[in-house]
Amino acid sequence: MSAIRFVMVIEDVFSIKASGQAEKVVVTGKPSSGAVRVADELFLKRAHDLIKVTAIGVESFNKPGEADGGSIGIGIMLRGVARSDVSVGDTLDSFGPEA
């Protein structure tokens, strides 16, 4: 994980379901700071709580693997959350409850 705090407001959310596999949740947005890589643990900050999630896929401009605050827009596939738990306007943050 980057030493700089990763923060991204979620602009869109959708799910992907492949045959015989569990549903995957994908969020998109523009990072305001920091970088995110596959396997980074993040916190989904919602109106009244937060959920610990893991980035299992990251893509920026068809460059899989990582994305930073300089990216125009990125997509992050998440583990640890259901589609119904994520809303436009929620925030992904690399800092947890103490932040």
CATH of the domain at 58: 2.40.30.10
Residue 20 included in any domain? yes
Query: How far is Cα 87 from Cα 65, in angstroms, rounded to an integer?
Result: 24
Residue 21 lies in domain: 7-93
Residue 53 included in any domain? yes
Residue 99 included in any domain? no
| Average of per-residue pLDDT across 66-87 | 85
**DSSP string for residues in 34-96:** SEEETT-EEEEE-SS-EEEEEEEEEEETTEETEEETT-S-EEEEEES--GGG--TT-EEESS-
For residue 23, the model assigns a pLDDT of: 85
What domain count does the chain have?
1
Residue pLDDT, tens place only, 81-92: 999 999 999 999
Residue 98 included in any domain? no
Query: How far is Cα 60 from Cα 14, in angstroms, rounded to an integer?
Result: 17
Residue pLDDT, tens place only, 6-43: 999 999 999 998 777 888 999 999 999 988 999 999 99
Of 1-5, 10-14, 59-63, which has the strongest mean pLDDT? 10-14
68 — pLDDT class (breaks 50, 70, 90)? low
Residue 35, strand partner residues:
68
